[in-house]
Amino acid sequence: DCGAISDFYRENAHHIVDTPEEAAAKAVKAGTDLNCGDTYYPHLIEAVNKGLITEEEIDTSVKRLLLARMKLGMFDPEKEVKYAQIPLDVVDCEKHRLLALESARKSMVLLKNENDVLPFSKDVKKIAVIGPNADNDEILLGNYNGYPSVRITPLKGIREKLPDAEVKYAQGCRLAEGLPYLEVIPADCFYTDETRKTKGLTAEYFDNAKLEGTPKHTRIDDRIDFEWWTAAPFADMPYERFSVRWKGVLVPPASGGYALGGEAFSGFKLTLDGKIVASGKSGHHTKKGYERVTLEKGKPYTIEVEYIQNDTEYPHVRILWEVPGKNLKQEAVDLAKASDVVVLCMGLSPSLEGEEMNIAIDGFYKGDRTDIKLPPVQTELMQEIVKLGKPTVLVLLNGSALAVNWENENIPAILEAWYPGQAGGTAVADVIFGDYNPSGRLPVTFYKGVDQLPPFEDYDMKGKTYRYFEGDPLYEFGYGLSYTTFKYNFERIPSSVEAGENIPLTVTVTNTGDKDGDEVVQLYVSLPDSKLKKPIRSLQGFKRIHLKAGETRTVEFVLQPHQFAARNEENIPLVEAGKVLISVGGKQPDEKSIASGAVVQTSVEVNGERFYIND
């Protein structure tokens, strides 16, 4: 990771060594061949001179790096490299768009479906789509992402699903108090000068990335909301490097406190009445910035915006604001009252959680989370809407676990959609309107609150993850519902094995419901008799299968000794005599799931002397 090795010696970071030479030597010896940063050069040379590492050890890393480049064909003529023959139109092709949709569908996790409120009927006439994540492109892609040409939000997905229905949207609230919900400034607010005779902004387009020389083109743009992709604004300008300057006046529609800013890739600078309000520049990803300003309704403010494209794959720029004075909650409640069903799109966003971010509000600090509950402003909105008694589903869009305790108790249906990618909105609509039977399972534990977790600085695994957490979570690892039901039976499993032998097993899975669907068959192992170090249980196998209504399929697993080993005081894995408790089903085992046949469980006796695993 960029800068990670310098963290070894920086005093405000991990600081496990005192010098960059020590850090460089330690990293290479640990197998880190490549450094994204400046620690290896020149400090590895100094590390050799100081005897901290040998040239032979460095040669090992160099050989691995060169071998990887050779395998990629980086030293061969382009015509001989198979990767170089892949045409650009493969990127974002229809086949890959369908793959994005499949991935989004399979990742959806149905957390609650009280009284089978889902799927909604596609005959519904009026649908309210409410929430700050309902029509927000940002929550589709997460962090460190590519840039698809087509992005389908939940709102767009539902409108495409039901073209004859009345699908209306209300933002309802901010994502979190203190975080503005920024939107593109509309064309009605821009004029070329203070006379306000001509709408828009005067734009100067330069054929370099430094706004230098005479503009190649000059025109009037109605607003600043551009995605150029792989084409420059004009055919006679280079795509890789160009720049734009816009000038004019901004006339606000209301008086009060605004959040004013923008986002761009590679960079932008926004000036208002001669003062820099916001700026950002990066060669890695989109930069967004804003500032709080007080503006008067109808007053013209001189605005200037500079944009630079410096060899990025997704040149774009938008100038954004949040307008004061809106009663977002009442707008959403009124919309819900007039609708037949309500789709709530809540959660988090890459503006709240990420890496080294400039944010410090309740629940969030520099990209980290100081709480795991939903921001209160979202729950407060939902509390008002639930009072209406309309059929309601909560769609969560987030990149990390959430403590949605009130929501779990009061909202009849909850769908975890994560940051679902470019086709996320289509997948959400497919699930909630019954064109796709959800089958995703939670890859993390959803706790009820931070009080269930040890301190963040405690690196011991006790009390963390499904493997060592002894409490009652909100939703456990591996959990997820379906629109159908499944029943399991053991078909074949030995009653005993000798230490060092595999444990082969076969189960039958039957779709006992009336809908076709996928099932994620999960195999968990526990060691109830062992006194050695071991987890409560551990997932040791899973398979996704598709079953038509009424169909039965056979699923086989083979447990190898390392999969049911414990560890001694020297942390050496070993198999010892005693019981191995094996559970197979669509979730972790509990009394209810075992009684219903949704999980089957049995013990296999291991006999003989201890068998040590050779790691």
Tokens 């880190």 -> residue: 32
Which of 313, 337, 357 delimits the end of a domain? 313
Q: What is the pLDDT of residues 222-278, one digit of tens each?
A: 999 999 988 999 999 999 999 999 999 999 999 999 999 999 999 999 999 999 999
pLDDT band at 296 (very low <50, low <70, confident <90, very high): very high
CA angle 33, 34, 39 (to 5 degrees): 110
Q: Of 542, 131, 139, whose CA–CA distance to 335 is shortest?
A: 131
**72: number of Cβ within 10 Å:** 12
pLDDT at 280: 92
Where residue 130 sits, what CATH number does that domain have? 3.40.50.1700
Q: Is residue 85 part of a domain?
A: no
- Sign of torsion over alpha carbons 41, 47, 52, 58: positive
Mean pLDDT of the chain: 96
Q: What are phi and psi of 113, to 5 degrees?
A: -155, 70
Q: What is the pLDDT of residues 12-45, one digit of tens each?
A: 999 999 999 999 999 999 999 999 999 999 999 9
Orientation of helix 154-161 relative to helix 424-432, angle to 10°: 50
Does 273 participate in catalysis according to the annotation?
no
Q: Is residue 309 part of a domain?
A: yes
- Examine the domain organization and report whether 498 and 582 are in the same domain: yes
Strands 413-416 vs 392-397: parallel, antiparallel or unpaired: parallel
Q: Of 375, 386, 373, 435, whose CA–CA distance to 412 is shortest?
A: 386
- Examine the domain organization and report whether 359 and 382 are in the same domain: yes
pLDDT at 356: 82
CA distance 312 to 282: 9
577: its two tokens: 């005599």
Burial (CB count <10 Å: 0-12, 13-18, 19+), residue 168: middle
Cα–Cα distances in angstroms (integers) from residue 591 to residues 174, 482, 600, in the given order: 41, 20, 10
- Examine the domain organization and report whether 44 and 61 are in the same domain: yes
Q: What is the DSSP string of 548-580?
A: -TT-EEEEEEEE-GGGG-EE-TT--EEE-SEEE
Where residue 526 sits, what CATH number does that domain have? 2.60.40.10
* DSSP conformational letter for 470: -
Q: What is the pLDDT of residues 226-237, one digit of tens each?
A: 999 889 999 999
pLDDT band at 313 (very low <50, low <70, confident <90, very high): confident
pLDDT at 88: 84
Q: Which residues are 489's β-sheet partners?
A: 508
Q: Among residues of the chain, what percentage have pLDDT more than 90?
A: 93
Does 409 participate in catalysis according to the annotation?
no
CA distance 394 to 317: 32
pTM: 0.94
* DSSP conformational letter for 512: -
Where residue 260 sits, what CATH number does that domain have? 2.60.120.260
Amino acid identity, residue 160? Answer: E
Q: Is residue 16 part of a domain?
A: yes
Q: What are phi and psi of 221, to 5 degrees?
A: -105, 135
Q: Is residue 80 part of a domain?
A: no
pLDDT exceeds cutoff 70 at 324: yes
CA distance 471 to 597: 24
Domain that holds residue 216: 186-223+230-313
- Examine the domain organization and report whether 267 and 168 are in the same domain: no
Query: Phi-psi region for residue 22, left (φ > 0), alpha (ψ -120 to 50) or beta?
Result: alpha
Tokens 């929430």 -> residue: 131
**Helix residue ranges per DSSP H, 72-129:** 94-107
Q: Is residue 82 part of a domain?
A: no
Q: What is the pLDDT of residues 499-532, one digit of tens each?
A: 999 999 999 999 999 999 999 999 999 999 999 9
Which contiguous run of DSSP H or E holds residue 113?
Answer: strand 109-113
Which of 409, 433, 468 delimits the end of a domain? 468
Q: Of 268, 280, 264, whose CA–CA distance to 358 is shortest?
A: 280
pLDDT exceeds cutoff 80 at 615: no
pLDDT band at 48 (very low <50, low <70, confident <90, very high): very high
Task: For residues 552-556, give the mean pLDDT.
Answer: 98
CA distance 57 to 29: 7
- For the stretch 193-227, what's the b/e string if a residue is b when 16 or more beta carbons lie within 10 angstroms of its beta carbon? eeeeeeebbebbbbbebebeeeebeeeebebbbbe
Q: What is the pLDDT of residues 147-161, one digit of tens each?
A: 898 999 999 999 999
- Examine the domain organization and report whether 442 and 493 are in the same domain: no
Q: Is residue 158 part of a domain?
A: yes
Give CA torsion, residues 246, 251, 257, 261, to 10 deg: -10
- Examine the domain organization and report whether 109 and 58 are in the same domain: no
Q: Is residue 475 part of a domain?
A: no
pLDDT at 89: 86
- Examine the domain organization and report whether 176 and 190 are in the same domain: no
Q: What are phi and psi of 161, to 5 degrees?
A: -70, -40
- Examine the domain organization and report whether 170 and 193 are in the same domain: no
- Examine the domain organization and report whether 358 and 430 are in the same domain: yes
Task: For residues 545-563, give the mean pLDDT.
Answer: 98
Amino acid identity, residue 596? Answer: S
Tokens 């789509």 -> residue: 129
Q: Is residue 271 part of a domain?
A: yes
pLDDT at 73: 94
Catalytic residue among 1, 18, 227, 491: 1
Catalytic residue among 135, 221, 263, 353: 353
pLDDT exceeds cutoff 90 at 339: yes
Q: Are the beta carbons of 245 and 203 closer than 8 angstroms?
A: yes
3-state secondary structure of 91: coil
- Examine the domain organization and report whether 250 and 337 are in the same domain: no
pLDDT at 556: 98
CA distance 554 to 507: 6
Domain count, the chain: 4
Which of 438, 468, 498 delimits the end of a domain? 468
- Examine the domain organization and report whether 331 and 453 are in the same domain: yes
Output the 3-class SS for 139-188. HHHCCCCCCCCCCCCHHHHHHHHCCCCEEEEECCCCCECCECCCEECCHH
Task: For residues 355-373, give the mean pLDDT.
Answer: 92
- Examine the domain organization and report whether 140 and 210 are in the same domain: no
